[in-house]
Structure 1
Amino acid sequence: MPGGQGTPIGIDDLLERVRAGYVRVGPHPAAESARTGEALLVDIRYAALRQRDGLIPGAVLVERNELEWRLDPQGSHRLPEATGHDLRVILVCNEGYASSLAAESLHRLGLHRATDLVGGFQAWRAAGLPVVAPGG
């Protein structure tokens, strides 16, 4: 039993529990929130996926292993955009799984408005929203 905290659960159950704690957003609402400045879109995909599939214009790139350090408003390694615990962050991974777990981690840091993109980058692209080549 991990951490001695009861019966272990599978990843599907964990995702269901985590996602019950916040409202996820679809591609078009995420794009609108980013466009109006209501939310910070954060791409947590690793470099090989960004290189392969492209980037969301205006999204901040923070690989998953650096996320908490970059978005903690009290952290010494925070991004300039990490201005406070009320910051609305929309996390984007490749398909919308890792971003759910990452959103829950940000909630633990007090970023209570953190959420993620349903379907991730692949849903963004399938919705016909803008994608640019890396470096472009």
Structure 2
Amino acid sequence: MSDVNEEPTGIDELLERVRRDYVRIEAHEAYSAAQDGEALLVDIRYAALRERDGLVPGALVVERNELEWRLDPRGSHRLPEATGHDLRVVVICNEGYASSLAAVSLHQLGLHRATDLVGGFQAWRSAGLPVMTPAVP
């Protein structure tokens, strides 16, 4: 519970504070790490954005509201990719804001190598990295 006299924190201040606790990753570095099998890319964007803009090939799609349940290595609802606390996870959102908060949440679960993509999917696409058009049902 917060102190009644404590000044509320704005989102910009919160992002600045949480980003001090880990090193964020740029698009080309994330791509190389994934290609080398050194990182798991996790796309937390909601379906409408993935349908509109496309997908990062090879990224695991886990919408934000399920992230902790799916990546907790000790959780009963974890995905097979959630192999341990040493897993290097790179969280990707649309522009690199929600992914910062998600990375910190993963740190709280013990995934100490979790990070996020600076600029999110938009930076990935702007860097000219591969984007897959989603299949139309």
Q: Any unmatched runs of 5+ in structure 2?
A: none
Q: TM-score with structure 1 length normalisation? A: 0.96
Once residues 44 and 112 of structure 1 are traced to their aligned partners in structure 2, the CA distance between those partners, rounded to angstroms, is 18
Specify the alignment match of 1:33 in structure 2: 33
**Counterpart of 1:86 in 2: which secondary structure?**
coil
- Which amino acid in structure 1 is aligned with residue 24 of structure 2? R
State whether structure 2 residue 120 is matched by structure 1 residue 120. yes
Once residues 7 and 72 of structure 1 are traced to their aligned partners in structure 2, the CA distance between those partners, rounded to angstroms, is 32
The CA deviation string for residues 65-88 of structure 1, in whole angstroms up to 9 with x for no partner, is 000000000001001010000000
Specify the alignment match of 1:75 in structure 2: 75
The CA deviation string for residues 37-83 of structure 1, in whole angstroms up to 9 with x for no partner, is 10000000000000000000000000000000000000010010100
Once residues 85 and 7 of structure 1 are traced to their aligned partners in structure 2, the CA distance between those partners, rounded to angstroms, is 34
Once residues 75 and 133 of structure 2 are traced to their aligned partners in structure 1, the CA distance between those partners, rounded to angstroms, is 31
Specify the alignment match of 1:22 in structure 2: 22
Deviation of the 1:8 alpha carbon: 1.4
State whether structure 2 residue 50 is matched by structure 1 residue 50. yes
Identity %: 75
Specify the alignment match of 2:10 in structure 1: 10
- Which amino acid in structure 2 is aligned with residue 67 of structure 1? L
Once residues 7 and 39 of structure 1 are traced to their aligned partners in structure 2, the CA distance between those partners, rounded to angstroms, is 38
Q: Any unmatched runs of 5+ in structure 1?
A: none
Specify the alignment match of 1:133 in structure 2: 133
- Which amino acid in structure 2 is aligned with residue 135 of structure 1? A
**Counterpart of 1:4 in 2: which secondary structure?**
coil
Specify the alignment match of 1:108 in structure 2: 108
Once residues 38 and 8 of structure 1 are traced to their aligned partners in structure 2, the CA distance between those partners, rounded to angstroms, is 38
RMSD of aligned Cα (Å): 1.0
- Which amino acid in structure 2 is aligned with residue 37 of structure 1? G
- Which amino acid in structure 2 is aligned with residue 100 of structure 1? S
Q: TM-score with structure 2 length normalisation? A: 0.95
Tell me the number of residue pairs that the alignment of Structure 1 and Structure 2 aligns. 134
- Structure 1 stretches of 4+ moved >4 Å: none
